[in-house]
Structure 1
Amino acid sequence: MKMNLFPTKELKFKLIDDQGETLNRLMRRTEKSENLTSQNTDKSFRGIINESQFKINSSAIGKGAFCVMTGEINANTGHVKVEIHKVFRALLSVILCFPIIGIVAMAISKTEDFSAVLVLVAVGQILMIRYAFIELAFWFLSKESLNRLRDVLDFEWIKN
């Protein structure tokens, strides 16, 4: 099992309609955008669709840009990979570094006696940020984006 710093989801689906109808529906509901930001629009998604491949995010203001969905729609099936947007990964990486920065600052300033317990506390804080906050946010927001994708494309998930 590969350990990633940030969570991802990879899912497969079975089309209910044919590939052409599904792609047409996706194109109608997607506003073309290279930078994958969320903005007020009447469309469900923003992103890029090239033939049968897509890279989109939800157009929901405030939370839609957090997850980026990339995938492909084949004749009867398709797949989608959900990841955290690059900008959010950079911001979350900085947040993950805060406990380390705090430990280094305490060690340099020597205002308190430095102990190994502080290192354990920093590791605990990093694990809490990663697995409690980032994982939960990704789980909720990716689920919302994937439900929106399923509603627009009209497909069924394939169980692994």
Structure 2
Amino acid sequence: MNIFPTKEQEFRLIDDQVETLNRLERRTEKSKNLTSEYTDKSFRGIINGNEFKIISSTIGKGAFCVMSGKVNSENGHVKVEIHKVFRILLSIILCFPVIGITVAILTGAEEFSPVFILVAILQILMIRFVFIGLAFKFLSKASLNRLRDVLDFEWVKN
């Protein structure tokens, strides 16, 4: 089980590789560090030949998912991950239940009980699968739909 979700998908190009890469170049603002910023383009990121590493330019939620992939002559693939900065912040949030229960026991506010361990585990699982999982599902879907619209390709069923 991964701590943070990822998504990998294959696609088939409708146009040729050169046209698809030109379209991606035109709609991507160059940025070494993948940060969110106001722009009239669809993406921000790096394009190296037929490989790319981009984020959606949507302010507030576009930088959550990083899309990296490769466009080959007839097909390609894309991998969607949570941005490194968000993984660090979410790791800290995942530690909150354990820290809270430890502080409560050490300060004497609560006596130790085995139920606390179960509660901490359930809280961590809820944060991971409900909050992080759903956020990733919706935001990655929005980013992938934007990529599909810009590059004009169709998904290959796995």
Query: Normalising to structure 1: TM-score of the pair?
Result: 0.97
Q: Quick one: which amino acid aligns to residue 120 of structure 1?
A: L
1:98 to 96, 99, 118: 96
* 2:107 counterpart residue number: 109
CA distance in 2 between partners of 1:67 and 1:111 (Å):
40
1:24 to 12, 22, 42: 22
1:90 counterpart SS class? helix
Q: Percent identity?
A: 73
Displacement after TM superposition at 1:51 (Å):
0.1
Displacement after TM superposition at 1:50 (Å):
0.2
Q: Quick one: which amino acid aligns to residue 116 of structure 2?
A: L
Matched, 1:123 2:112: no
Gaps of 5+ in 2: none
Displacement after TM superposition at 1:29 (Å):
0.1
CA distance in 1 between partners of 2:110 and 2:28 (Å):
55
CA distance in 1 between partners of 2:10 and 2:127 (Å):
29
1:7 counterpart SS class? coil
1:13 counterpart SS class? strand
CA distance in 2 between partners of 1:129 and 1:112 (Å):
23
Gaps of 5+ in 1: none
Query: Normalising to structure 2: TM-score of the pair?
Result: 0.99
Displacement after TM superposition at 1:110 (Å):
2.0
CA distance in 1 between partners of 2:32 and 2:105 (Å):
44
1:35 counterpart SS class? coil
* 1:55 counterpart residue number: 53
Q: Quick one: which amino acid aligns to residue 128 of structure 2?
A: R
* 2:130 counterpart residue number: 132
* 1:82 counterpart residue number: 80
* 1:11 counterpart residue number: 9
Alpha-carbon RMSD: 0.6
Deviations 1:103-158 (A, max 9, x none): 21122112222101111111100000000000000000000000000000000000
Q: Give every structure 1 segment of 4 or more consecutive aligned residues whose post-TM-superposition deviation is greater than 6 Å.
A: none
CA distance in 2 between partners of 1:70 and 1:111 (Å):
48
